[in-house]
Amino acid sequence: MALVVMCGQPCSGKSKAALCLVEALKESESKHQVRIIDEVCFHLDRNQSYANMPSEKNLRGVLRYELWCLARASGIRYCVVYCDVEETFCRKWNEERREKGEASYDDSIFEDLVRRFEKPERRNRWDSPLFELWPHREGTEKSSSAIIDAVSYLTKKVDSKTRDVKILQPTIATQTSRFSDANSLYELDKATQEVTNAIVEAQSQALGGPLNGVSVGKDLPVINISRSVGLPELRRMRRTFIKLTGQTSLSGPPPPSDAESAKRMFIDYLNRELGTS
């Protein structure tokens, strides 16, 4: 089993690249069974799905880092295929699709996705190995070098002497559920609730006015929040953070056992999430 993450700007050729990869994998000697997971398989409209943060999070589920963590916890191969296309070409292709009556992005959705897209970095563990395609320069075919390299990586037999293919594995020490530790769970739940309460209180005192950040403690980062965030949204983010902390603890450090560390982690998470909205 393996997980391949396709990423790129909107209308950068990800769907075609995925189809080419599927075709190449089916023609390989390994005869892999492949499934593409995208908006279409969930019968979702790309504009409605990305129209606001809650609907987008329901579609995406987890980002590249969280997908990497899940792949590692599952002990499978993982790679990223990146369609590297300049924004001008993506915009042109989107307009051409619209003129042909094909699936395309509304202008506002397109601009928002372009603004929030994070280019993968090879040095990041969750973006490695990285296979890069340049559809606007070379086109995308099953014979494209990046597709060939990805197929080779995904199908190569691994033994004790293999060095260029890495199977993600959780460490033996983390196989036992660290997150079940009562003290860690208690501190994490309590700390995240205190941060949530601080945000709600700050917004209440602002009476709907602008916020220049919320401070939870003198030694903790400021929560960079400039818009109103409702309690239901905060609760969803809190639940997601606790869930992700439990998942990543299988493949990394244990969850925090003290309140200050838990608050810092949750604040960092909120700043990442609120900074993309």
Rounded average pLDDT over 114-132: 87
- Regarding predicted confidence, which is higher, 230 or 85? 85
Is residue 262 within 8 A of residue 181, CB to CB? The reply is: no
37 shares its domain with 126: yes
In a domain, 209, yes or no: yes
| 175, part of any domain | no
Domain shared by 149 and 188, yes or no: no
Distance in angstroms (rounded) separating the CA atoms of residues 250 and 72 = 8
The whole-angstrom separation of Cα 92 and Cα 98 is: 10
> Measured on CA atoms in the order 115, 117, 123, 125, is the torsion positive or negative?
positive
Q: What is the CA radius of gyration of the chain?
A: 21
Q: Which pair of tokens denotes residue 14?
A: 């990800």
128 with 211, same domain: the answer is no
Confidence of residue 171 (pLDDT cuts 50, 70, 90): very low
| 211-219 mean pLDDT | 80
Report the 10 Å Cβ neighbour count for 174. Answer: 19
pTM of the model: 0.56
pLDDT category at 159 given cuts 50, 70, 90 is: low
Is the domain of 151 the same as that of 201?
no
Same domain for 72 and 130?
Answer: yes
Instruction: Please compute the mean of the pLDDT values over residues 154-167 and round it to a whole number.
Output: 67
Asked if residue 217 is part of any domain, the answer here is yes
Cβ-count burial 47-59 (b if 16+ within 10 Å, e if not): eebbeebeebbee
pLDDT band at 172 (very low <50, low <70, confident <90, very high): very low
Regarding whether 124 and 61 lie in a shared domain, the answer is yes
Inside any domain, residue 251:
yes
Last residue of a domain, one of 107, 139, 155: 155
Same domain, 205 and 270: yes
Average pLDDT in the 191-208 region?
86
Q: Is residue 174 part of a domain?
A: no
- pLDDT higher than threshold 70 for residue 248: no
pLDDT at 134 over 90: yes
Residue-level pLDDT at 165: 66
Does residue 193 share a domain with residue 132?
Answer: no
- Mean pLDDT across 247-270: 71
Q: What is the residue range of 43's domain? A: 2-155
Percent of the chain scoring above 70 in pLDDT: 73
The H or E element containing residue 80 is strand 77-83
Question: In the predicted model, what is the mean pLDDT of residues 229-240?
Answer: 88
Give the residue from 20, 13, 164, 198 showing the smallest Cα distance to 93: 13
pLDDT band at 164 (very low <50, low <70, confident <90, very high): low
The pLDDT score that the predictor gives to residue 14 is 94
Nearest CA among 230, 240, 226, 231 for reference residue 274: 226
Average pLDDT, the chain: 79
Contact 257, 183 (CB under 8 A): yes
How many independent structural domains does the chain possess?
Answer: 2
268/220 same-domain check: yes
| pLDDT tens sequence across 13-41 | 999 999 999 999 988 877 677 888 776 66
Domain assignment present for 171: no
**Domain stops at, among 155, 190, 205:** 155
Q: What CATH number does the domain containing 81 carry?
A: 3.40.50.300
Backbone angles phi, psi at 132, to 5 degrees: -105, 130
Residue 150 pLDDT level (bands cut at 50, 70, 90): very high
Within a domain: 204: yes
Q: What angle do CA 35, 37, 38 make, to 5 degrees?
A: 145
| Judgement on whether residues 28 and 150 belong to the same structural domain of the protein | yes
HEC letters along 254-266: CCCCCHHHHHHHH
Angle at 256 between CA 251 and CA 262, to 5 degrees: 120
Nearest to 48 by CA among 56, 40, 38: 56
Nearest Cα neighbor of 189 from 238, 252, 250, 251 is: 238
Tokens linked to 94: 């989107």
Rounded-to-integer distance, Cα 65 and Cα 167, Å = 16
140 & 215 share domain:
no
Cβ proximity of 32 and 155 under 8 Å: yes
In a domain, 165, yes or no: no
What is the pLDDT, as a whole number, of residue 11? 93
Q: Looking at the structure, tell me whether residues 21 and 150 fall in a common domain.
A: yes
Q: With contact defined as beta carbons under 8 Å apart, do 274 and 224 qualify? A: yes
Could you tell me the two tokens for 60? 């995406």
Query: How is residue 166 annotated by DSSP?
Result: -
